[in-house]
Chain A
Amino acid sequence: MTTFRMNRRSVLAGAAATAFSARSMAQAQQPITIRIGVLNDRSGLYADLTGEGSAIAARMAAEDFGAAAKGLNVQIVSADHQNKPDVGANIARQWYDNDAVDVIADVPTSSVALAVNQITREKNKIFLNSGAATSDLTGSQCSPNTVHWTYDTYMLSQGTGGAMVKAGGDTWFFLTADYAFGHALERDTTAVVQRQGGRVLGAVRTPFPGTDFSSFLLQAQASRAKVIGLANAGGDTVNSIKQAAEFGITAGGQKLAGLLVFVNDVHALGLQTAQGLVLTETFYWDLNDSTRAWSRRFAPQRAGNMPSMVQAGVYGSVLHYLKAVAATRSKDAAQAMTWMKGNETDDPLFGKGTIRADGRKMHPAYLFEVKKPSESKGPWDYYKLLATLPAEEAFRPLSANACPLVRA
């Protein structure tokens, strides 16, 4: 088509052809070069949660898998999508078109993830999402080229909503960020709470993004609900938790339930402020021996910060993908996806699991409560486990799924 591209393409085609003929001549283990693009927020609000830590996790996956010894030459590239869908879409296209990237991993921020989801499908590559919350990725917008690994909004409301009611928190009041994400969280959690026999006493819509939550918190306090659900994210969550601590809400016996809170948020808030907060995650560094061992290797590379569940998800998903390529000896997206869905996942962070037809990775979810400062034994000792939800309860059942791949 164009001169420069002809050069580049012919080089690529040449390389591919060499690789192919080498393979067809059955020479031993011609190395397969795999390029993995870690696309996430490296400067904004999710930089701690994803950022460079996710790239480190991807690199660790390649090392732990022993990729080089298995004839895989894994290269990790990374970029900042600044939480803007058009920036993310631009990078994704450029990676696929010009930079020979085979897989995009991580991608927090739902709008960016949905854009990358579409592009990956169009270019027939693979998208291993770990960072985004939207359950549409495996629902109405599901794609045969996407795996959604770590968590989603359905699981968050199931985990925090359902398990809280079982633990005795049967009356709820919501502080809902006034935009579609907040509304969806409130709606889903309300359904779960009511199904479990709980009652929702009220809800208040807070302007998004908000800084002053005092009047809303007072309403929540006056409602005498046992649980105050925070159907918000990011800065809103941090601000509302801080102000709730100032009003002595948790000290007064009401529980705060954060519907989207990560361990890094708790670290930023400090135990004094965050104590008593209840939340759901699918990974915590101090969960068992293997998560501890892995996290202790991770933390020194991140200035002592423990991994978030999103970074753990990048590790798990990249590891599983590398296994697929090593097994099929092919970078073909369809083959790799078939292998990944057909074979059980097994990694030190999430344990054994499966990937469903709609691209949903299935693993248990955990309901945690943030410890009191007196209970914490040291830095990053933040959570105590309240309940474990099996994967089938945590994630949306296939029967209730709008994904066209499932119906087909």
Chain B
Amino acid sequence: MADVTIAAPATETAEQADHSALHRTLFIAMAALLVVLPFIPVVGYPFFLMKVLCFALFACAFNLMLGYGGLLSFGHAAYFGFASYVAAYTAKHWGLTPEVSILLGTVSGAVLGLAFGALAIRRQGIYFAMITLALAQMVYFFSLQAPRFTGGEDGIQAVPRNALFGVLPLGNDTVTYYLVAAIFFVGVLLIYRIIHSPFGQVLKAIRDNEARAVSLGYRVNQYKLAVFVLSASLAGLAGATKAIAVQLASLTDVHWSMSGEVVLMTLVGGMGTVFGPIVGAAVIISMQNFLAGLGAWVTVVQGVIFVICVLVFREGIVGVIGKWLKKPL
């Protein structure tokens, strides 16, 4: 009896050490890949890569809530899109430097997340999802109706890429790519850290059995709100970065279909995995990009891939690979 109780944690820590070693290797590989990507033909087009990275960060932020908090939000486009408007507006009309614009965008995502989260976490399951959707639609209609701030349906065009910190010019796409890559990498590392902290453990406990977490004395709602705000801020970070990188902010980013797209990315890549949403975003954005010539068939192909995903590998691409390796990725 005593042997067992001692032995179990020992193997677990060994396993955990093994996993974190694997994760460390993967992160180093990812960093290396981010550095060399612009030099690879066909996919190495910096503008396309920036878009992929922004959406990958967005999907990771969404996954933090869905995969680790068990909260299905259907309104994540609100934080993503609103932050992109804030970043675009402040860069264009106030002439702020990119880092300040991105920071303000992130803060706006956090504030919105706090307000919406405080309302939404009072309900669970489908009601939670519907409340987030309804609040996100309010943001959409606000964006549509406030042409002075958002440019209405024309969006905010020609967002300037001002010099970073006021010194480093971002005129070159490749330079901007490295800024986006750095933001993405730091964002993903932060999410990884959150997941593997004691806070993350509690989140997973709440996801798996909320009643038990309550009975253990955790203030469940505070944890839920915290992860909601974190996820909204990171979605805001992604949106603000995208506005600077792509140089425009438009209604597409606050539309509900964007909320759906991020769910799709997360599920295709693998919900509740660290690297899944990144792969999912890369797959979906590449499809939209390289199949653009197919016209209407893009959405059909997307649908087919989603169906195959649900039927054949329900854990998503990375989830299945993780299963083969018998290691969480």
Contacts and interface: CB of A to CB of B under 8 A. Distances in A.
Q: Do A and B come from one complex?
A: yes
A78 interface: yes
A274 to B, nearest CB: 25
Contacts of B251: 111
B252 A118 contact: no
Contact of B152 (A78, A90, A118, A179): A179
B147 A180 contact: yes
B213 to A, nearest CB: 40
B155 A118 contact: no
B295 A42 contact: yes
B154 A43 contact: no
B144 A94 contact: no
A80 B296 CA distance: 8
Given A134-B154, A179-B145, A181-B152, A111 B250 contact: yes
A399 interface: no
Contact of A90 (B38, B289, B299): B289
Given A85-B250, A118-B158, A118-B247, A179 B298 contact: no
Interface string B59-83: 0000000000000000000000000
B28 interface: no
Contacts of B297: 43
Contact of B296 (A42, A93, A98, A179): A42
Contact of A1 (B152, B174, B242): B174
Given A1-B174, A86-B250, A111 B298 contact: no
B248 A115 contact: yes
Contacts of A178: 145
B39 A180 contact: no
Interface residues of A, number: 38
Interface string B248-289: 101111000000000000000000000000000000000011
B47 A111 contact: no
Contacts of A78: 293
Q: Is the interface of B mostly helix, strand, loop or mixed?
A: helix
A79 B290 CA distance: 10
Interface string B128-159: 00000000000000001101000111110110
Contact of B298 (A47, A82, A86, A110): A82
B39 A3 contact: yes
Contacts of A290: none
Contacts of A82: 288, 292, 298
B44 A2 contact: yes
A246 to B, nearest CB: 28
Contacts of A97: 45, 47
Interface in A136-161: 136, 141
Interface in A14-68: 42-43, 47, 51
A81 B295 CA distance: 8
Contacts of A208: 144
Contact of A89 (B248, B253, B288): B248
Contact of A84 (B147, B174, B252): B252
A91 interface: yes
Contacts of A141: 157-158
Contacts, number: 104
Interface in A176-193: 178-181
A266 interface: no
B41 interface: yes
Interface in A107-147: 110-111, 114-115, 117-118, 134, 136, 141
B300 to A, nearest CB: 9
B48 interface: yes
Contacts of B292: 79-82, 87, 91
Contacts of A181: 152-153
Among the interface residues A4, A84, A86, A179, which one has the most CB atoms of the partner chain B within 10 A? Answer: A86
Contact of A85 (B147, B155, B288): B155
A134 B158 CA distance: 16
B295 A80 contact: yes
B168 to A, nearest CB: 18
A78 B295 CA distance: 10
B246 interface: yes
A111 B48 contact: no
A98 B45 contact: yes
Nearest to A110: B154
A134 B48 CA distance: 27
Given A3-B39, A86-B250, A43 B144 contact: no
Contacts of B288: 82, 87
Nearest to B154: A111
A114 B154 contact: yes
A79 B297 CA distance: 12
Contacts of B248: 85-86, 89, 115
10 contacts: A3-B39, A43-B295, A43-B299, A80-B293, A85-B248, A97-B47, A114-B154, A115-B250, A118-B158, A179-B153
Given A2-B39, A4-B39, A86-B248, 7 more contacts: A2-B44, A80-B296, A87-B252, A114-B157, A115-B155, A180-B147, A181-B153
Interface of A: 1-4, 42-43, 47, 51, 78-82, 84-87, 89-91, 93-94, 97-98, 110-111, 114-115, 117-118, 134, 136, 141, 178-181, 208
Interface of B: 38-41, 44-45, 47-48, 51, 144-145, 147, 151-155, 157-158, 174, 242, 246-248, 250-253, 288-289, 292-299
Q: Which 4 residue pairs spanning A and B have beta carbons closest together?
A: A180-B152, A43-B296, A42-B295, A4-B41
